[in-house]
Amino acid sequence: MVKGTTSKMGKMYLVLVFLLLYIPIVFLIIYSFNQGTTMDKFTGWSMVHYQELFSDKRLLAIFLNTILIALLSSVFSTFVGTMGALLVDNAKRRRTKETYLYLNSILLVSPDVIIGASFLIFFTALGLPLGFWSVLLSHIAFEIPIVVLMVLPRLNEMSSSMVNAARDLGASNWQTMSQIVIPFIQPGIIAGFFMAITYSLDDFAVTFFVTGNGFTTLSVEIYSRARQGISLEINALSGIMFIFSLILVTVYYFIENRSQGKRKVMEA
């Protein structure tokens, strides 16, 4: 009886949490179709704000900049983060491994404001103009620790006997890496890639410090426009970004299911 009650309360709690998370998003998207210009009252259905959005060349350019930064930074950070995870996993001494993990965690636990200010000082000292490259390098830097943490658990799950057996059979280091290690940790790499994209699209504080020369991203632009007054054009853009996020999650879901299917076939 107690178990059933606990299970029912758990389900109710989950429903409540999801409602609290999704109701504001649904509310925002619904008002993106409002005929009026404010969220005070819904006056009727209209696509006028989407038409305004697609005619706003500046906002569309910023949207493309944001997607480009997210994709490029995710690709580079996934590669570097995977190599970093392999380095940490191959550390001979436990103390060395713990030191690597500690250094990797600094960017994760440090406040975004501190990280953004640090990058600003660093780029200024190097004489690097603030703009596309400063934003890209900053995003790569704070995404790398995320990828490392996504890949490391898969490396810890991999039995050393698989690698030793491949080497005993005459496989080279490259063959072992490309045919044994990488396929095994592929789910972690994919998860790290998608997490990196999410963090890049979501970032505001770090980007706010390192953007300049007319280059900006959606988070910074929306903040700037919100200070001048909320426009339902932003609602329309948020709705499109939400759909884009759903597509990313769906793609990741199918890739993960396919990877699990392959692993089950290999284990069978």
146 in Cβ contact with 108 (< 8 Å): yes
182-202 and 57-89 helices cross at what angle (nearest 10)? Answer: 140
Confidence of residue 82 (pLDDT cuts 50, 70, 90): very high
pLDDT tier at 5, thresholds 50, 70, 90:
low
Under the banding of pLDDT at 50, 70 and 90, the label for residue 267 is low
Q: Which tens digit of pLDDT belongs to each residue from 243-263?
A: 888 887 788 777 777 766 665
Find the length of the chain.
268
Short-list 244, 231, 241, 242, CA closest to 48: 231
Q: List Cα–Cα distances, 116 to 123, 203, 230, 248, in angstroms.
A: 11, 11, 26, 27
Number of other residues whose CB lies within 10 A of the CB of residue 69: 23
CA 100 – CA 88 distance, rounded (Å): 6
pTM of the model: 0.80
How far is CA 133 from each of CA 62, 73, 76, 79, rounded to the nearest angstrom? 15, 10, 13, 18
Report which of 184, 185, 180, 200 is spatially closest to residue 76, judged by C-alpha positions: 200
Give the pLDDT confidence score for residue 21 in this predicted structure.
83
CATH number of 56-229: 1.10.3720.10
Place of tokens 């903040």: 223
Task: Give all strands (DSSP E) within 36-168, no chain letters.
Answer: none
Which token pair is 3? 């178990």
Phi, psi of 230 (to 5 degrees): -70, 125
Check if the beta carbon of residue 33 is closer than 8 Å to that of residue 47: yes
CB-based contact 138:119 (threshold 8 Å): yes
- Residue pLDDT, tens place only, 195-247: 899 889 888 888 989 988 788 888 888 877 777 666 788 788 888 888 888 88
Q: Please tell me the predicted confidence (pLDDT) of residue 262.
A: 60
Residue 33 · residue 45 · CB < 8 Å: yes
Q: Is 203 exposed, middle or buried (0-12, 13-18, 19+ CB in 10 A)?
A: buried
What pLDDT does residue 1 have? 47
Please tell me what DSSP assigns to residue 45. Answer: B
Q: Which of 163, 153, 134 is nearest to 195 (CA)?
A: 153
